[in-house]
Amino acid sequence: MRCEIDRGIFAELLAGVTNALPSKSAYPVLNNITLEVNNGKLALAGTDLDTYVRRTFSLEGQSEDGTVVVLGRKLAEIVREISAPTIKLSSKERSLSLEAGKTNASLVSLDPSEFPEVPKLPEGVTMEFPLATWFELFETVSFAASKDESRPAMTGVNWEVSKTETRMVGTDGHRLGYVCRKGKFAGKLKVIVSTKLFPLFPRGEETFAVHMDPAKIGFVFQNATIITRQIEGPYPDYERVIPKGYPARALVEHDVFSAALRRAAVFAHPVGRLVALEFTKNKLGLKAETPDVGRSEEEVECSYAGEQIRIGFNASYMLEILRRLQSDKVAVELSNPLSAGLFKPVEEKPDTEQTFLLMPIRLD
């Protein structure tokens, strides 16, 4: 194979593929990616056996067809350090050569037959979905997904689409993020998708196609294809978990609340990151203490309706929620010190509903 490509474009293509490679694997071949030139196009592909990613780019100028298999992350590292604007790629005798300005480098290539077989695109449910909406909703809730592999369903994001709305939910049992967007959508689906998909999706396109069968889900873009296994469910019954009609409600300025929490977090204990919140009429008190560090007490103004409540939360979790609440004021709904608290935006978009649930930490 032989071709020439802009360094920046090549670096972007590599990032989109190497993000799919496993951090550790018993199969060394999975540390590699394929580069294929065919009929004036360059295609890069990588997999961890659960997710397969393929990115393509239309080349300018002359090129020669061929395929090489090389270490993906090593190639990405080399390309990042090259300062020349273009890179010439060529393969010869089981190696890939790079020429860029005064830089000449080569990587050992494997036999392409050693690379895992390319999975077929699912032939089931097919629909179009707006990419900007997917990014916005996924980023809103994916932070709450579990990192515990012993609960596979909760390591992903629950995604539902109907003709009139789409929903996404992420939870790890301690916190939950829920977002719903009203609109007209071209199909219906319910699937648990991996949080690892976010950095794999290309930017800048208006829509993508979704292909799904009982085992796999495929995402097809103009110049990219991603095929991944579905995460097995069932997903937790989030509608039952989210409380309705809490008796106490506070309205707090978003920036004021966030700044006070960041200050309190300095004194929160490293284990649990506990900050105590005390809600009284027109006041919110924040307290945090670590014996070896010190303590902090602060009051901020708020509008509060309900009985006085003192409740503890993880400061880091609260700040993660506030970063995703795009609202000048935040509503905090409570029942008692042992029940989950709800965090919602006061000024919501007409077509969007957001709710974040956070379990409390028992106060001594």
Residues 258-314 pLDDT 10s: 999 999 999 999 999 999 999 998 899 999 999 999 999 999 999 999 999 999 999
Per-residue pLDDT of 160-188, as tens digits, reads 999 999 999 999 999 999 999 999 998 89
Which of these CATH numbers, 3.40.47.10, 3.10.150.10, 3.40.50.300, 3.40.640.10, describes 2-114? Answer: 3.10.150.10
- pLDDT for 93 equals 82
The rounded distance, in Å, linking the Cα atoms of 222 and 279 is 52
Confidence of residue 355 (pLDDT cuts 50, 70, 90): very high
Strand order, beta sheet including 32-38? 66-71, 32-38, 41-47, 51-58, 224-229, 216-220, 207-212, 125-130
The mean pLDDT of the chain is 94
- pLDDT for 233 equals 84
- pLDDT for 25 equals 81
Rounded mean pLDDT, 47-65:
94
- Percent of all residues in the chain with a pLDDT value above 90, rounded to a whole number: 88
Confidence of residue 204 (pLDDT cuts 50, 70, 90): confident
Q: Smallest Cα–Cα separation from 87: which of 10, 1, 12?
A: 10
pLDDT value at 349 more than 90 = no
pLDDT value at 226 more than 80 = yes
Rounded mean pLDDT, 88-107:
93
Structure tokens at 185: 């959508």
Rounded mean pLDDT, 130-138:
95
- pLDDT for 124 equals 80
pLDDT value at 78 more than 80 = yes
User: What CATH number belongs to 244-358?
Assistant: 3.10.150.10
Per-residue pLDDT of 245-269, as tens digits, reads 899 999 999 999 999 999 999 999 9
Q: How many CB atoms lie within 10 A of CB 214?
A: 7
120 residue type, one letter: K
pLDDT value at 323 more than 80 = yes
Range(s) for CATH 3.10.150.10 in the chain? 2-114, 126-240, 244-358
pTM, 2 dp? 0.89
Superfamily in which the 126-240 domain is placed by CATH = DNA Polymerase III, subunit A, domain 2 (3.10.150.10)
- pLDDT for 129 equals 95
Per-residue pLDDT of 4-50, as tens digits, reads 999 999 999 999 999 999 988 888 999 999 999 999 999 999 999 99
- pLDDT for 187 equals 87
pLDDT value at 364 more than 80 = no
pLDDT value at 244 more than 90 = no
In sequence order, the 6+-apart residues with CB closer than 8 A to the CB of 318 are 261, 275, 343, 358
C-beta separation of 100 from 138 below 8 A = no
- pLDDT for 169 equals 98
